Structure 1
Amino acid sequence: MRLLLINILLLISIQMRSQTDLGIGLVSIHFDDKTVLEFYSDTLSKESDRIIEFFDDKNINSWNIKGLDKQKEWLKPEVFWLDYYAFTFRCLTNSDNWFEIIVNNETEKSYWLKNTHSTEFKNWEEYLKDMFSVERHPSFPQQIRTEPTDNSQKLKYQGTDCFVVKSMNGDWIEITTPEYCDENFTDSKTAIKSGWIKWRKGNELMINYFTTS
């Protein structure tokens, strides 16, 4: 039940941020209790504008950020799920030494973050292929198609959406039904071996994605 509630909150958060610039990909933070992130207004700044520090919070038996209540006033990233080491930002620019990231998906405020051993960049295809599952966004009804085109044949599908991403072609992603999805959703009457749906429309996500079950 707890995982279900967390996924619902994560889903609502993703839906609220769907019109924020998708950028070129995402930057995930691999943190521990010694990780300190410094956010700069530009790459020539000598001093950072914001700093966050992670720690192992024994009171909640999980990871946390120092002064989190205050930090949340400006910090609203793509994924904020410290229990599962999920702390991810949309990325606007990727250079050898710096990332320009969106730190607030509601205001689209961006900062520059140094490229270090704690940061990992993935384009949207790589990132979505790592997700536990994806589903079609209810606000963007669409058919599953045999090819990544609007006029290709529709695939018949009945049941709850639960797919993983195989590949990407522009605005389209190729999906399939993994065994664990077929087992978890007993009302699913159709397994998709290979089908195509749109994952974006401009800067709007046409899918929901889930980092874990």
Structure 2
Amino acid sequence: MRLLIFNILLLFSTQSWSQTDLGIGLVSIDFDDQTVLEFYSDTLDTKPEKVIEFFDDRTINSWNIKNLEKQQEWLKPEVLWLDYFAFTFRCLTKTDNWFELIINNENGETYWLKKTEKTKFNNWEDYLKDMFGVARLSSFSQKIRTEPDENSKEIEYQGTDCFVVESMKGDWIKITTPDYCDENFTDSKTPIKSGWIKWRQGNKMIIEYFTTS
């Protein structure tokens, strides 16, 4: 059971975008089969640079994007899992009417998208608190601390990382082990009641997060 759930978590974890600016937060798109998104190079432009159209794809019984294979040549957002209604971009700038979004997390390319009832902004703290779970990157070794300070006491932990975020303080996030992780990860022998890890180092994310189980 533990291995099965761990594999499911890996399936829905975020990719690591080491070269991309974290921005000020994220913008999620509440799309349906009528949604059309127009991306502009500048807020003063009258013609969009890129256009995405959604439709009801009966072949897969889900919403889909027209010409998705071609669109994905330039469209590489933070999250794109249409089956789970997850379509999210990192946001560099927001004004009263516009968002400047990173539309390609590989090269940092940005476009502007108008604010509508289908666009929802979250800062990183609120976004991470809403995730199913977070884990430390295996490529970036860090300890779990009692306080958001490198010099604070280390909390001994054994097992697979499976935490939820309670709050954020600068580069640090306060974590705990939720019941569903404690029950299903049989090698998590030392669940965390309250601890702190870093979620970023400079402008690089050093955790991975899971949007769903």
Normalized against structure 1, the TM-score is what?
Answer: 0.95
Counterpart for residue 84 of structure 1:
84
Q: Assess, with a 3 A threshold, how the Cα gap between structure 1 residues 55 and 179 changes in structure 2: closer, same or farther.
A: same
Alignment of 1:136 onto 2:130: no
Distance 1:132 1:35 in 2: 27
- Native 8 Å contact 1:80 1:86 kept in 2: yes
Distance 1:61 1:2 in 2: 26
Give runs of aligned pairs for residues 1-213 of structure 1, distance below 5 A.
Answer: 7-8=9-10, 10-11=12-13, 14-15=15-16, 17-213=17-213
CA offsets, 1:35-84, max 9 Å, x none? 10000001000110110011111101122100111101100000010000
Q: Assess, with a 3 A threshold, how the Cα gap between structure 1 residues 4 and 149 changes in structure 2: closer, same or farther.
A: closer
Secondary structure of 1:45's counterpart equals coil
CA offsets, 1:121-157, max 9 Å, x none? 0000000000000000001111000000000000011
Task: Flag structure 2 segments of 5+ consecutive residues without an equivalent.
Answer: none
- In the TM superposition, what is the alpha-carbon distance from 1:6 to its structure 2 partner? 7.0
- In the TM superposition, what is the alpha-carbon distance from 1:8 to its structure 2 partner? 3.5
CA offsets, 1:164-207, max 9 Å, x none? 00000000000001001111201111111110000001121110
Distance 1:177 1:56 in 2: 38
Secondary structure of 1:14's counterpart equals coil
Distance 1:204 1:19 in 2: 8
Amino acid at match of 2:122: K
Amino acid at match of 2:82: L
Distance 2:79 2:33 in 1: 19
The structure, 1 or 2, with the larger RCO (C-alpha pairs under 8 Å, 6+ apart) is 2
Normalized against structure 2, the TM-score is what?
Answer: 0.95
- Native 8 Å contact 2:5 2:184 kept in 1: no
Amino acid at match of 1:139: S
Q: Structure 1 residue runs of 4+, over 3 Å off?
A: 1-11
Distance 2:10 2:66 in 1: 26
- Native 8 Å contact 1:80 1:87 kept in 2: yes
Sequence identity of aligned pairs in percent? 69
Secondary structure of 1:103's counterpart equals strand
Aligned CA RMSD, in angstroms, stands at: 1.7
- Native 8 Å contact 2:132 2:212 kept in 1: yes
Distance 1:60 1:199 in 2: 36
